């Protein structure tokens, strides 16, 4: 297992409109990006589990090769600016990703 914080150059979240949140992970190098993409474990089910939401709330998951990036878009629990909503910019929602460890050994390839 390898911590995501060792593999990524950028881990961030931001608004994708008032009802959606986008998670961006930009990898440090092509080898790490390709390995994570190939093993397929960074996916909608994992994001849903990390954020404690139904998988149906993960609207899109994309690996974007030119930027060595993974992007997931999910429904916000509360619309941006709603009473009780505490992160109007959506920029403070990356914490669940910071403790994430991903499969790294040869036995995990292609699983």
| Number of separate helices (H) and strands (E) present in the chain | 4, 6
pLDDT greater than 60 at residue 109: no
pLDDT greater than 60 at residue 111: no
For residue 19, count other CB atoms closer than 10 A to its CB.
13
Burial of 84 (0-12, 13-18, 19+ CB in 10 A): exposed
Nearest to 24 by CA among 64, 79, 75: 64
Structural domains of the chain, count: 1
Domain that holds residue 48: 2-108
Quote the CA–CA distance of 70 and 97 in Å, as a whole number. Answer: 12
**SS3 at position 49:** helix
Q: pLDDT for 14-68, tens place per residue?
A: 999 999 999 999 999 999 999 999 999 999 999 999 999 999 999 999 999 999 9
Q: pLDDT for 68-81, tens place per residue?
A: 999 999 999 889 98
């Amino acid at each position: 297992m390898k911590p995501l914080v060792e593999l990524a150059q950028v881990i961030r979240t931001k608004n994708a409109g008032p009802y959606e949140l986008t998670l961006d992970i930009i990898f440090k190098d092509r080898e790490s990006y390709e390995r994570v993409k190939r093993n397929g474990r960074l996916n909608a089910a994992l994001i849903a589990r990390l954020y404690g939401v139904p998988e149906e709330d993960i609207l899109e998951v994309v690996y974007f090769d030119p930027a060595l990036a993974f992007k997931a878009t999910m429904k916000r629990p509360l619309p941006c600016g709603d009473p009780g909503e505490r992160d109007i910019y959506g920029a403070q929602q990356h914490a669940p990703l910071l403790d994430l460890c991903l499969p790294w050994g040869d036995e995990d390839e292609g699983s």
